Amino acid sequence: MTQILENVNLKHLNTFGIEAFGKYYAELNSINDLQELIQKKFFVNSDKLIVGGGSNMLFTKNFEGIVLKNNLKGIKVVKEDAEFVEVQSAAGEVWHDFVMWCIDKNYGGLENLSLIPGCVGASPMQNIGAYGVEIKDVFSELEAIEIETGKSRIFNKAQCKFGYRESVFKHELKNKFIITAVTFRLSKNQSSTHLTALLVPN
């Protein structure tokens, strides 16, 4: 069972370094940690805040609910053929490290998105993008756990309703799901245009 701490300073969890306190705080190191919290009805009648890298949040006051720090780790190839590879990353992986892992393997498609701060699990939230590329261009699917029921669900691209810095998770499904893993369909034949954009920023 993950430890639940009380009155935790969130300063180290947001890149602005703002001092704000979370009434409750827990770290998710496995899906089991999350399922245990759900089964014990820890989220019932409690506000929830899922934190990845904390680079897209601004605390203006203390948070009077439970803060969940997503530490889920792991990157693996789940499918491949001669041209494409599908790579799944757990939500708590640092985004840039994941991009570098793909580049290192010569899997193309995410390189324009290197250096964007944050974790993989937050990337579908706002369909992160840079230099004319958005994750929706190479997104395959994501896995998420419904907070109310603990049920696992797969979302394909259409179900995520991606738009410019938008997704369904910022609107009708806001605070309803915790994204646990994201899968991208990448090219095995690295495109040189992507690399040019990376080297010559505009």
Ligand X SMILES: Cc1cc2nc3c(=O)[nH]c(=O)nc-3n(C[C@H](O)[C@H](O)[C@H](O)COP(=O)(O)OP(=O)(O)OC[C@H]3O[C@@H](n4cnc5c(N)ncnc54)[C@H](O)[C@@H]3O)c2cc1C
What one-letter code names the amino acid at 137? D
DSSP class of residue 137? G
Binding mask 66-105 toward ligand X (x if CB under 6 A, else -) reads ----x--------------------x--------------
The strand pair at 129-130 and 133-134 is best described as: antiparallel
What one-letter code names the amino acid at 95? W
Nearer to ligand X, 63 or 107 (CB): 63
Binding mask 27-46 toward ligand X (x if CB under 6 A, else -) reads --------------------
Q: Return d(Cα 150, Cα 32) in angstroms, integer.
A: 10
Q: By CB under 6 A, is residue 118 in contact with ligand X?
A: yes
Smallest distance from ligand X to CB 2, Å: 15
Q: By CB under 6 A, is residue 130 in contact with ligand X?
A: yes
Nearer to ligand X, 42 or 84 (CB): 42
Q: By CB under 6 A, is residue 51 in contact with ligand X?
A: yes
Q: Return d(Cα 12, Cα 187) in angstroms, integer.
A: 36
Q: Return d(Cα 94, Cα 134) in angstroms, integer.
A: 17
Q: By CB under 6 A, is residue 52 in contact with ligand X?
A: yes
- Contact criterion met (CB below 8 Å) for 52 and 118: yes
Q: Which of 157, 60, 70 is nearest to 118 (CA)?
A: 70
Nearer to ligand X, 49 or 195 (CB): 49
- List residues near ligand X by CB under 6 A: 15, 49-57, 70, 91, 116-119, 121-123, 125-126, 128-130, 178-179
